[in-house]
Structure formats: structure tokens, C-alpha cells
Amino acid sequence: MLKKLLLLITLTLPLAAAKPNIIFIIADDLGYGDLGCYGQKKIKTPVLDKLAADGIRFTQHYSGSTVCAPARSTLMTGVDTGKTWLRGNGEFELRPDPADLTVATLLKRAGYRTAMIGKSCVSGNTQNPKHVLEKGFDVFYGTTSHEDGHFRYPLFIYNQDKKVELEGNQLHSGKSYDAELYTVRAEKFIGETDGHFFLLLSYPIPHAAVLGPEGSVAGGAGMKHTKGHYTEVKNPATHYQAMVETMDGYIARLLTALEKKGVARDTLIIFTSDNGSHSEGGYNPKMLHSSGPLRGHKRDLYEGGIRVPTIAHWPAGISKKGSSDHICAFWDFMPTACEVAGIDAPKGINGISYLPTLTGKGEQRKHDYLYWEFHEQNTRRALRQGDWKLVHYDVAKNGKPELYNLANDLAETRNLADQETERVTAMVKLLDQHHQPSPIFPNPSLDK
């Protein structure tokens, strides 16, 4: 009788609640204030807003960096920019295994079919599609050079390791809009995959070029002209809005694909952005209040450059819907995904699983502090410890650290460094201790 009861309980438990599919969607340069559920008034994002309402909306989730390549490096490897291999943009890529073990490799070992679709998260400006496949992905469809992601109508993409010319595309105009291509391939991947899967869907929008697809906004597309590197438009705010709203529609299509496959309930979806909103291609975050209540934007280590909108949706696993103020970052995704898959995360990483926050089960461990370093603009670095945030600009020129209390100064307007000198000294010491020298990003101001 007891055996029959245990069997009945086992059969009625949602199997994927212990081991769901995982979809990680990462937008490019989407600001903290760009979604309706984060306070946006102009841009309409009903699909993402509904995902947030039915799941968890993180209010204190951070990117790994304030620009593309290092942010994605921390996401893939579970270590922050004081330790990760890619600490800036350029012609770099993650090292072969086991030097830079990725979350994709770990999930593949756990029996997941893995795919990266869109902009590469394991390289910068390189042309090496085989590298993506070597870093744990069974399927690759997208671009490996981040510069190719600067154009909504790229000349080519890679399908696995094969180059596919996109007939009719001329960078600033064409027939094949990049984010549309990636959505179609993601729908196909979901439909064709039996068993557990991990999909990393890396949209190149709303990064410049700021260009919505034809017909996306009345009077928007079709008023473009080119100037310099990016496609420049006469109405960049309209196009930026079109890009975000179009992406929201793409995500609706992914949800439909999951429903058709019968796996919507047992799929963990995480949506986020790689850093704050940008000031490129004619757009400025102030046009649509993209940073929300935060100071700064892309390339800043103030909150607007690194605090990003993050939504988790998992019907079979999330027990309590609503917002979470748990402080977490990109490097926490690897241990979270490992725990979801029932495998051990690598030792020595900076990440802490936030699965207890998702499921409401177990005790949620917290970080002692979060660390960032940025090697452009005379070197910038930052540390968050509890409610305190230390921002240190112009390190190479002996710039003075700034200190803010985010609990009562979210906009980082009141520098308390002169009143809290002992705290500043202690936090600067942590900054110095945490940094590890990098052979490809040597920095005399940090490599002490």
C-alpha cells in the first residue's frame, strides 16, 4: 500500500519542476525603465508585463558589466569582471574548455539539448562560429562578431559553422530583419526538440542601429537615412520604441511555441538585458526615460548602467508571484541553472544560486558584495555591499571614490564619501583584493 502511495505521489508531481527546460532571453542595451512593469509609460510591453505578473520581477538584479562582451562572459562562466576572461569588448573569445567552462557545457553534460541563437555570448569581434559549438552549444544560429550585430539587416549570419549570405540585406535596409530571423529559428528549435533543452536567445535589439522593422510603428520605419557607422534615423525615439515593442511581440510567439509543444508549464524563462540603455545611433535614454529612476546608462557603473530589468517565469516552479528585492547578478545564473538541472556548479565561481527565491523553498544565500571593473575611460570600478554602493571613476588618474546609500538614494545623487571615510577605506580595500590581473586586459591602475 505504501509503495502504491509513493508511486501515486511521484506520478502527480510536476517532473520538470525539478528539471525544467530553460530559456534565457537577453536583450541588448535595454534600460531598467524600458518595460511597463518597471514604470515605462510610452513603450507598450504587455507580454513581458504579463510574464512579470505571473512570475517574479527582480528589482535589484545586475548585469555583469556595462558593455556587451564582459557582461556575457560573466553570464556564461559564473565569475565577475574581477576574474572573468573577457573584461572588455574587442577581438577576444572565451578560452577552450576547461579554462572557461560555460553553463551550456554543464547543461549539455546533464542531458540538455543546447542552443545559442542571436548575438554571441562567448566572443567579441571574432568570426569563429565553430567556437560557439565548442563552448557547449549543439545549435548555433547568429553572429559571432558583435559589430555584425550593429546592423538590423546584416549581410550574413552563421547556421552552425556555415556562413549564410542574406540576399537583399544591405546593413541599413533589406529583406531579413535580424531579430525576426532569430525568433523564427528559436520557434523551430522549441518545436523540433524532444527532451530537456536550454535555449540562450540573444536579441541584438534595442542596440543601435536604432531601426524598427518595416511597418512596426506608423511613420517610423521608412524615414531612415544613413550617416556614419550606424543607421541614423530622423525619429530615433520612435524606432527605439518600435524595437522594444517588436521584441515583446516576438516573445509572445515563443510562448505560443511552448504551448504548442506542451512544455510551457515546465519551462523556466528568464528575461533580462546585458546592460543599461545606450546613447548611440541618435538615441538618448532621456528620450523615453529608459533608465527609469536610476542614474547613468551604458558605460556607467552607476545603477543605470548595470541594474537591469529581469523577469523569471516558471509556472511549475515559482510558488509565490510578485517582485523580489534579492540582490543578484549575471554570475548567479550558472549555479542557478546547475541547481535546476540537478548538477553541481563548478567550485571557485562567484555566483550564488537564486533557485530558493524562485521556488520559495530553502534558504536564499546572499552575497557579501558585488564587484565590477570597466577598463575604458581611465578605468572604472564599483562595489555594492548591502545598501552601500562605492563608485570609483578615473582610477588611472587617481580619481576619488564616491559612496551612496541606495536604500534612501536610489538615484545616487548624494555622495557620502566624506562622511563615511572608514567605510570607503574598507570598500576600496575589498576592490583591491578582489581584482585578479588579466593577461589580455592588463591594467596598471588595478594590477597592484
Beta-carbon contacts of 43 under 8 Å, excluding residues fewer than 6 positions away, are 34, 35, 36, 241, 244, 245, 288
- Dihedral-angle region of residue 408 (phi above 0 means left; psi in -120 to 50 means alpha; beta otherwise): alpha
Rg (C-alpha) for the chain, rounded Å, is: 21
Percent of the chain with pLDDT over 90: 90
208 alpha carbon, distance to own chain's centre: 17
Cis before residue 98, ω within 30 degrees of 0?
A: yes
Neighbours of 171 (CB within 10 A): 17
pLDDT at 132 > cutoff 90: yes
pLDDT digits (tens, 9 = 90+) for 52-76: 999 999 999 999 999 999 999 999 9
The structural domains of the chain, ordered by start, are 19-359 (3.40.720.10), 370-434 (3.30.1120.10)
Q: Calculate helix-pair angle for 333-341, 68-77, nearest 10 degrees.
A: 30
Residue 326 is classified by DSSP as: -
Q: In the block, which residue shows the cell 540562450?
A: 200
Contact 265/316 with Cβ under 8 angstroms? yes
Tell me: pLDDT of 219 over 50.
Answer: no
CA distance 39 to 7: 47
Tens of pLDDT, residue by residue over 9-40, are: 333 333 334 589 999 999 999 999 999 999 99
Determine the Cα–Cα distance for residues 190 and 201; give it in Å rounded to an integer.
Answer: 12
Q: What is the mean pLDDT of the chain?
A: 93
Each residue's pLDDT tens digit, 261-317: 999 999 999 999 999 999 999 999 999 999 999 999 999 999 999 999 999 999 999
pLDDT in tens, 346-386: 999 999 999 999 999 999 999 999 999 999 999 999 999 99
Instruction: Please give the grid coordinates belonging to residue 19.
Output: 528539471
Per-residue confidence band for 223, with pLDDT thresholds at 50, 70 and 90: low
For range 217-225, the mean pLDDT: 55
CA distance 443 to 360: 42
Is 5's pLDDT higher than 80?
A: no
Instruction: Collect all residues with Cβ–Cβ distance below 8 Å to 189 and sequence separation of at least 6.
Output: 115, 117, 139, 197, 199
Could you tell me the pLDDT band of residue 216, with boundaries at 50, 70 and 90? confident
Q: What is the pLDDT of residue 18?
A: 59
pLDDT exceeds cutoff 80 at 110: yes
Q: Are 295 and 303 contacting, i.e. CB atoms less than 8 angstroms apart?
A: yes
Q: For the chain, what's the residue count?
A: 448
pLDDT digits (tens, 9 = 90+) for 375-412: 999 999 999 999 999 999 999 999 999 999 999 999 99
